[in-house]
Every structure is written in C-alpha cells, then in structure tokens.
Structure 1
Amino acid sequence: MTSNFLIFDCDGVLADTERDGHLPAFNETFEHFGAPIRWSQDDYAELLRIGGGKERLASVLTPELVKEAGLPTDPRQQRDVVLSWHAYKTARYTDMVRAGRLPGRPGVARIVAEAHDAGWGLAVASTSAEESVRAVLEHVVGPELSTHFSVFAGDDVAAKKPAPDIYQLALAQLGASSTSAIVIEDSHVGLTAALAAGLVTVVTQSSYTADEDFSGAALVVSSLGDYPADPTVVLDSPHGTAIVGHVGIDDLIRVRAAALSANSTPGR
C-alpha cells in the first residue's frame, strides 16, 4: 500500500507554461475569433489571480467589450462563447506542448523518477484542462512515467484554487491523508489552496511568481534543480531544512517531517 504521495501543480511547476504557452495561446484565440483583446505580460500576471482558464476568459466579458465585439448579452450564450474560446485555446496550447516548445522545469523529471522508484503515489492537481495537463506530463516526464499519475484538473471541482477543493478531491481519490502527501506549487494562489487542505507545500518560484507571498510554505526554492548543471537555490527555509545540490525525495521527507513537527508544537 502506498504510504507517500507527491502532488504537483501543473502550470509553472512542471514547465513554465504560463508565459510561454497559455498567454500566447489565449492571444491566438482572441485573434482567431476576432475579439478586440490582447493580453500583455502584465495583464496576464494580474489575471493569474483568477483560478482557471474559462474563468479568466469570462472575466473579460464586460458590458463594454460585449457591445464592442458584438457578443451575445444572454448569460447562457456568453457561457457558450467562453466554452468555444477555451476549447480552441486548449487545442492551440496542447499543440505547443507536443511541438516541444515548453521545456520541463529543472528537476521535475528526476524527482518524479525518484518518487516512482521509491513507491510513491504521483498526482497532479491543477485548474487547467485535463488534456493540457496530460500533454505537459507526457512531454516533461515521458510517456511511460506519465501513465503512473492521477490527474485532478479542469472542472473536477466547482471551486478552483485558492479554494482547497481540488486538493481535497485528490486526497480522497488517492486514499491519502494530509500528512502522507507533499505538494509542489509555484504561486500564492496554489499555496493557499494546498495549505487550506492541510498539506505541507514546497514552492518552486516561476517566472510570474517571484514577488508573491509564500508565507506558510515549508520550503521556497528557485527550482527542484538538477545538480551540477542547475543547482537549487534556497530562498526560504522556515524550518531550517538545508538543501545540498538539488531537492531529492529524502529532502522532501525531511521538509515534511520538520513542517509537521512545527505545526504540532504547542502554542503554534
């Protein structure tokens, strides 16, 4: 029976997909449908506060834009517009992934192999569409290892991150306790969701999240790392856990133990 679980977010964790994948895919979608919208890097950084691609698309349907673009005013028809845009965007994004345009982040493939060899359960908990997540997984960790992942994504839950629902669903479906799992996230929104589910969380900063608040994370690093070519830089280690070279499975065990011990200390 599996006693340890490693749960990844997808975007910004497995690959730096937001800047190099999702944003251009959204903009290509707007151009394809003739929508007078183009998101800049700064625009998209703000929109990342909204969990879920369909939710980000829905947020742009202001009365002014609807009138300018000649879009329907009926809420049900607007939902159909969002679904159509999102389906096109997902197809464009997965094309980018399969074309090899989004390299995996340092250390992901290595630590997935380590975890699998050690008998850990593997999962992704993401607000992205499952098709997108599966494409990234296969590209980053390879076709064989990707089959060992459980994926919780898209509309599996109604309330998206920062709500804890996707992580609560993952724990329930995996048969895991909050103390048997450890999460890898890259954003404040994702960290908030994981912490609300009672999960020890390691943050690997991504291109859009360097200035975010990661209070509550058990460890904050530049990446999981691939020493010596791409060593891990520790940015915050609240429990004093040292990382040498890069983050490995033994490091995650130590991080989790230190965080759980600190959380159980009276007065904390």
Structure 2
Amino acid sequence: MSFDLVIFDCDGVLVDSEVISCRAHADTLTRHGFPITPDGVLKRFLGVSDREARRIVESEIGRLLPDSFEAEVKHATLSLYADDLSAIAHVGEAITALDLPKCVASSGTPEKIHHGLTCAGLYDQLAPHIFSATQVKRGKPAPDLFLLAATQMGANPARCIVIEDSVAGITGARAAGMTVLGFYGGSHCTAEHEDMLRQAGAAITFADMRQLPDLIAQAGADLQIAD
C-alpha cells in the first residue's frame, strides 16, 4: 500500500447531510435578504467553508450579514440533523476495513462535525483525528486544511489519499499534492456530479462505499507505478 493516511471529507462523504445543510443555509440566507433555494446553495457553495460563503454573499448584497448569522444557520442545521441525518450507506464498514490511519478534514465547524458524526454513529471510529476549516486561515478550495491534517497526522502529503464529494475539496486536496477519490453517492448528487468530480481532478470516481478499500488499493498501486 502506497498511502500513509486516508483523509475523509465529512458532509456528503461520511454523513448524508448536504441536502439538510443546504436547506438550513437557504432558509437563513433568504430571511436575511439573499433569496436562494437549497439547490442554489448546493450549486454555488458545495464544499466551500462557511466563512468563504459568507464573504461571497456579503460582497454580492453590499452589506454585512448580522453577527448572529452563523448561530442561526447552526441552530437550523443541528435541529434538522436530529430528525433527518444518516450515515452514507456502508461507510462505517468501509472505515473499519481500511488498515490505515484515518482522519476527517471538513469545512464545517467543530461542533457541526462532532454533532453530525455522532448522529450518524461514526464519531468513535474517527475521533480524535478531526480537523475543521476554522483551524486554518483559508478553507477549501485552498490546500491549507489538508496540509494541516497531514502535518498533525505525521504524513507526507504525497502519500495521502482524500475522499471528497465537491469541486472545492478536490481542488484543495490536489493543490496540497494529494491523490483524490471523488464520491458521488450522496443524496445531493445529480447525474452530472461524477463528471464534475473527474473534471476537477479526481483520480477515480465512485458511488458505493463498499468499493472504497479496493479503490484505495488500486490508487496505491497506480502511485507505486508512477514512482
């Protein structure tokens, strides 16, 4: 095996949360004068950190959102999580089957990541190696979060493999010098999602987490050949 570390995105890769998160963001943004649908949030901000998404919105509306905005989104999201959140199908078994160090690198806040993984029954499989965009200056699509995860886990970025579902995440991981697998099995993924991930630079795309251990082995073999 050529990889020393597997880095998982959270939303849309570990937990099937993107539809929920987009609904909470759309409702809150619309209430504050930025009319947008959940699908619009998905298309414009998938994988983008909350901080960067807020900067974009404020630039477009020409004013600052209220100080309470993040708290309002968080409250709406966590309320929906309690009723609707589930793990991505078969991801728990895939994590168990991987005989490699693992961590999470997510655009979400630490509280959101913890709550989502806990609701989905995955927290104990991945804690304490969980990293948030709030820990770096620039979130995805910058490479900072992935490089932080590699440094904290003692891994060479070139020997890290990232599991992502967004263009922003793939862009950031590629910029960090990492191999990326693009996952398009979440409930938010459209028919065009696989092609979008390939165009962003995913080495392999897949929609079934039962494939993950074999795909990582395949990507590792390809990496050895390239070396």
1:48 pairs, out of 28, 45, 52, with 45
RMSD over aligned Cα, in angstroms? Answer: 2.5
In the TM superposition, residue 213 of structure 1 has moved relative to its aligned partner by 4.3
Q: Which moved more, 1:102-111 or 1:41-50?
A: 41-50
CA contact (8 A) 1:94 1:131 kept: no
Asked whether the 8 Å contact 2:25–2:41 carries over to 1, the reply is no
Residue equivalent to 2:33: 36
Where in structure 2 are the equivalents of 1:75-90 lying within 5 Å? 78=64, 81=66, 83-90=67-74
Q: 1:49 to 1:109 in 2, by over 3 A?
A: closer
Q: Where in structure 1 are there 5+ consecutive unaligned residues? A: 67-72, 225-245
Determine the C-alpha separation between the residues in 1 that align with 2:35 and 2:69.
14
Instruction: Please name the residue that 2:218 is paired with.
Output: 254
Equivalent-residue separation in structure 2 for 1:251 and 1:192 (angstroms): 20
Gaps of at least 5 residues in structure 2 are none
Report what 1:125 is aligned to. 105
Q: Measure, in 1, the Cα distance between the counterparts of 2:40 and 2:217.
A: 38
Of Structure 1 and Structure 2, the greater helix share is in 2
CA contact (8 A) 2:26 2:41 kept: no
Matches within 5 A, 1:100-179: 100-115=83-98, 118=99, 120-147=100-127, 149-179=128-158
Provide TM-score, normalisation by structure 1. Answer: 0.72
- How far apart, in 1, do the equivalents of 2:24 and 2:32 lie? 14
Aligned residues: 219
Paired AA for residue 89 in structure 1: V
Amino acid at match of 2:97: E
**Rg larger for:** 1
3-state DSSP of counterpart to 1:247? helix
Residue in structure 1 matching 2:173, options 194, 212, 216: 194
1:172: Cα distance to partner?
A: 0.6
Q: Is the 8 A contact 1:218 1:256 kept in 2?
A: no
* Alpha carbons 2:22, 2:42 under 8 Å: kept: no
2:13 match: 13
The answer to whether the 8 A contact 2:47-2:166 is kept is no
Q: Percent identity?
A: 26
